[in-house]
A and B are shown apart, each in its own frame.
Chain A
Amino acid sequence: MKLDTSGFETSMPTIGFGSSNDMLDGFSTVPSFDLPRTTDFDGFQKEAVQMVKPAKGTTTLAFIFKEGVMVAADSRASMGGYISSQSVKKIIEINPYMLGTMAGGAADCQFWHRNLGIKCRLHELANKRRISVSGASKLLANMLYSYRGMGLSVGTMIAGWDETGPGLYYVDNEGGRLKGDRFSVGSGSPYAYGVLDSGYKFDMTVEEASELARRSIYHATFRDGASGGVASVYHVGPNGWKKLSGDDVGELHYHYYPVPPAIAEQVMEEAAAE
């Protein structure tokens, strides 16, 4: 039986000679991209990095608890101050038992998660068993490491359930990979951590954990300008992932805080007192 060593191959993108030959199916080699033919390659790269940079405006979080992994995210895409969309899918379904979250460049995250899904399926076919979360996150981290410094913007969490139980890894575009049981990524993450850390217990039921995740995302969308839209919550259990809820954050506010805002007379009194 031939071992699958595609993960070990060095993956420097080929320069200038065009893509690989037609005989290969294009999936077992690491994708190689044509490099631009410009006179100012460094400047071009720098501009590309800058273009993607402001885009980690988001809030995603994931944590491990007794019943599996809870994954949650908002759904806003912002370009500087402008909200370009309130309905972006930031939780990507890599395969029926693994989820990835999106923070950073949308195109980068979507492409590389799909690519990871392909690699995981190939692993399954070659080895007759599912890939572990540890292995999948390592594949992604290695791929991203080889593109280090080229302006990719990816801050993702890989969450899944394998033979060793629930697994959660944080992987980013620098090639970093961390194992942990609580992560939050994005501009709204400090606010989400505040709520998540104070409410977290390992022994929670699925309902308690999903409410904690939803609340954390809600509080992050309230405080952070670059997060908002819909708070989606997924649960990864022994039988795979399941979407639990997708609540509009605008309505969640009045659900959590039904008291009406400061009444007009109060505001006018404060104004007169100034």
Chain B
Amino acid sequence: MSIFEYNGSAVVAMVGKNCFAIASDRRLGVQLQTIATDFKRISKIHDRLFIGLSGLATDVQTLYQRLVFRHKLYQLREERDMKPETFASLVSAILYEKRFGPYLCQPVIAGLGEDDKPFICTMDSIGAKELAKDFVVSGTASESLYGACEAMYKPDMEAEELFETISQALLSSVDRDCLSGWGGHVYVVTPNEIKERILKGRMD
């Protein structure tokens, strides 16, 4: 198994009508052994911007800490929050700095931009941005996730329906992957509120 599959992960983000949802699994493993079932992969940068990181767990945590630091500096200098598009460029630049010794993670960025327009994008481990209008996926279960999202996604879903769709897509995909699952963590973000929910999944 490759180094990206060492810890196991699954992250997905979807766009709805003036809202977005980002979800991840909760397993932390060392190859086939499960160590924890409450590992946090999605983190808040500010109230309208979330980042989910899949891949090697140590890099997930380190990269997140670096990004929070850079964003706080930005807030001090600019006296405002970063726009999602700007943040995506920041992440891409930070990843490319380590081109010849990369962070072994694939980020998924989801945020609400100007006029509450949702923005999602994903990147490979050296910063190649991939913008999408509907959904983005990453992690060991990514192939299953692509299939499930493609089948279940509809444009312009409201927050509740988006939550159902992303949860079903996540749970059915991780049930086909040995290395991810053991529950789910979903954030649904609208201009007014952030709703965080934990999913009961198969624990095998």
Contact = CB atoms under 8 A, between A and B. Distances in A.
A53 interface: no
Contacts of B201: 250
A264 B1 contact: no
Contact of A261 (B175, B198, B204): B198
A267 B34 CA distance: 20
Interface in A65-99: 74, 76, 78, 80-83, 86
A57 B203 CA distance: 17
A263 B198 contact: yes
A224 B34 contact: yes
Contact of A81 (B177, B183, B196, B202): B177
A248 to B, nearest CB: 8
B33 A250 contact: no
B200 interface: yes
Nearest to B187: A264
Contacts of B202: 228, 249-250, 253
Contacts of B32: 57, 187, 224-226
A227 interface: yes
A250 B203 contact: yes
A271 B43 contact: yes
Given A81-B5, A81-B177, A261-B183, A76 B40 contact: no
Interface in B159-186: 175-179, 183, 185
A268 B196 contact: yes
Nearest to A79: B178
Contact of B178 (A57, A260, A268): A57
A40 B110 CA distance: 52
Contact of B177 (A57, A83, A223): A83
Given A224-B32, A261-B38, A81 B179 contact: yes
Given A226-B178, A261-B183, A267-B40, A81 B140 contact: yes
B interface residue count range (under 10 / 10 to 19 / 20 to 34 / 35 or more): 20 to 34
Interface in A243-260: 249-250, 253-254, 260
A221 B204 contact: yes
A262 interface: yes
A76 B185 CA distance: 25
A39 to B, nearest CB: 31
A145 interface: no
A interface residue count range (under 10 / 10 to 19 / 20 to 34 / 35 or more): 20 to 34
B197 interface: yes
Interface string B143-156: 00000000000000
Given A78-B178, A267-B40, A271-B40, A223 B198 contact: no
A222 interface: yes
B5 A228 contact: no
Given A221-B204, A249-B204, A82 B34 contact: no
Interface string A222-237: 1111111100000000
Contacts of B38: 261-262, 267
A181 B33 CA distance: 26
A223 B1 contact: no
Contact of A82 (B37, B177, B203): B177
9 contacts: A76-B178, A83-B176, A222-B203, A225-B32, A225-B34, A250-B201, A267-B185, A271-B40, A271-B44
Given A76-B178, A261-B183, A267-B38, 12 more contacts: A81-B177, A81-B178, A82-B176, A223-B33, A225-B8, A225-B31, A225-B34, A249-B202, A253-B202, A262-B198, A267-B185, A267-B198
